[in-house]
Amino acid sequence: MAVGAGDNYWRDNRLPGILKHRIIRRYLPLYLARTSSKDGRAVYIDGYAGRGFYENGEAGSAGLLMEFALEAQGEYILRLFEKDKTNYEHLNSAAEKFAAEGVNVKCERGDVVDKIENTVTEADGLPLFLFLDPCGVGLPFEMVVNAMNRPAAGEWPPTELLMNFSWEAIRRIGGHVSSPRGSEKTLERLDTALGGDWWREHFLAGTSDEAVEAVVDGFINRLGAATNCSVASLPVRRKPSHKPIYSLVYATRSPRGFWHFADITAKSLEDVRIAHEALAEPGFFSIATPQQDAENAALPDIEKNILSILEKRSEFIVGDFPFLVFGEHIGTVGEKIVRKAIKSLHRQGRTPSTGVGGKTENLKVVRPKR
């Protein structure tokens, strides 16, 4: 069985949770502030909200959002769902305090599967961020896709998703495919979450890391195709030598959204690496190298990437092309390296653009006149 979020889970924020919460703390305020600038409102749905706060007072996902909404100027509509009675009671008592101070927050006890459609409909016309953080298998694929493709989805209003996609659940349930005692009911549960039984073939020869990876890749590709989104998967491990326990899967239609998410991911990974060092426990992510090493390795590649874009375009804004600019370094180094790359190219006489001033995402790079 997948390990649930029982009492021990809520004692303090374990290291794998730190990355998730650092990303939420940095990215959600940015997304909500950016998207609500049009009519002052944006909606956040936390489908597996948990208790809101750990016993030591540290905020979980719902707590972070309530704290942000209390401080912020815009009107943020927070909709939280929690199935477990004890967790719900903790969450509700925190939410009541924030609501009394003016935060537009409502939490409901129940299965998010029964609530998601209506809640997404209520967000019609407004920017929406969907956070899905189950302990094991999550929402049916079709429900996730419908939420992302809600009416009028496209340029406006934007819809984004961050979900916890469990490698452990795939590994465990995948074992049922070739086992004589495998449970068809369990297999069907994963079919529903993955949008069909396409994944089963990867486990016909038994469980392997390759099978799990193929299913994670297949899911991401299917989600991207069904929603017309760019989708990123950030594997989270307990230690570098461990297999990932889950991926944080992020989906957006906005290149700028992706740009910010990648920059924030790099910063958050560095925070986690430092937190691990402080505990004398070496980092547990794929990116275990100090940030300086990652940046030194990325700089020449990003310079090359920029020059390749300039072969096709006479000028461009870097924030419009996060994938082409960062290339394989996306999510491992922050945007400041892009500025550094432009400055370096300027010094070499390969662009008249200086890389000076303004926000990095808005930097324009121009091809030199021949």
The residues of the shown chain that bind ligand SAM, judged by CB under 6 A, are: 5, 20, 48-50, 60-61, 81-84, 87, 111-113, 133-135
Bridge partner list, 248: 164, 234
Q: Which residue has the CB atom at the shortest distance from ligand SAM?
A: 60
- To ligand SAM, the closest distance from the beta carbon of 143 in angstroms equals 11
Task: Please say which residue, 95 or 338, places its beta carbon nearer to ligand SAM.
Answer: 95
- To ligand SAM, the closest distance from the beta carbon of 220 in angstroms equals 20
- To ligand SAM, the closest distance from the beta carbon of 40 in angstroms equals 26
Specify the DSSP class assigned to residue 367. P
For the packed helices 141-148 and 209-227, what is the interaxial angle rounded to 10 degrees?
40
Residue 182 phi, psi (nearest 5) = -60, 145
Task: Please say which residue, 162 or 365, places its beta carbon nearer to ligand SAM.
Answer: 162
- To ligand SAM, the closest distance from the beta carbon of 142 in angstroms equals 16
Task: Please say which residue, 81 or 316, places its beta carbon nearer to ligand SAM.
Answer: 81
Bridge partner list, 261: none
- To ligand SAM, the closest distance from the beta carbon of 328 in angstroms equals 29
- To ligand SAM, the closest distance from the beta carbon of 174 in angstroms equals 21
Task: Please say which residue, 66 or 266, places its beta carbon nearer to ligand SAM.
Answer: 66
For the packed helices 85-100 and 61-71, what is the interaxial angle rounded to 10 degrees?
10
Q: What distance in Å separates the CA atoms of residue 66 and residue 63, rounded to the nearest whole number? A: 5
- To ligand SAM, the closest distance from the beta carbon of 94 in angstroms equals 11
SS3 2: coil
* CB-CB neighbours of 109 under 10 Å: 16
Task: Please say which residue, 134 or 355, places its beta carbon nearer to ligand SAM.
Answer: 134
Task: Please say which residue, 94 or 223, places its beta carbon nearer to ligand SAM.
Answer: 94
Bridge partner list, 160: 129
- To ligand SAM, the closest distance from the beta carbon of 349 in angstroms equals 49
Closest to 176 measured CA to CA, from 133, 139, 137: 137
- To ligand SAM, the closest distance from the beta carbon of 60 in angstroms equals 2
- Residue 312's alpha-carbon distances to 206, 299, 340, in angstroms, are 46, 21, 22
**Gap between the terminal Cα atoms of the chain:** 65
- Per-residue burial over 264-284, b if 16 or more Cβ lie within 10 Å, else e, is bbbbbbbebbeebeeeeeebb
Q: Which pair of tokens denotes residue 232?
A: 């990123």
Task: Please say which residue, 49 or 338, places its beta carbon nearer to ligand SAM.
Answer: 49
Task: Please say which residue, 39 or 188, places its beta carbon nearer to ligand SAM.
Answer: 188
Give the amino acid at 213.
Answer: E
Task: Please say which residue, 7 or 311, places its beta carbon nearer to ligand SAM.
Answer: 7
Torsion of CA 322, 325, 330, 336, to 10 degrees: -100
**Residues 353, 363 contacting (CB under 8 angstroms):** yes
**Residues 107, 53 contacting (CB under 8 angstroms):** no
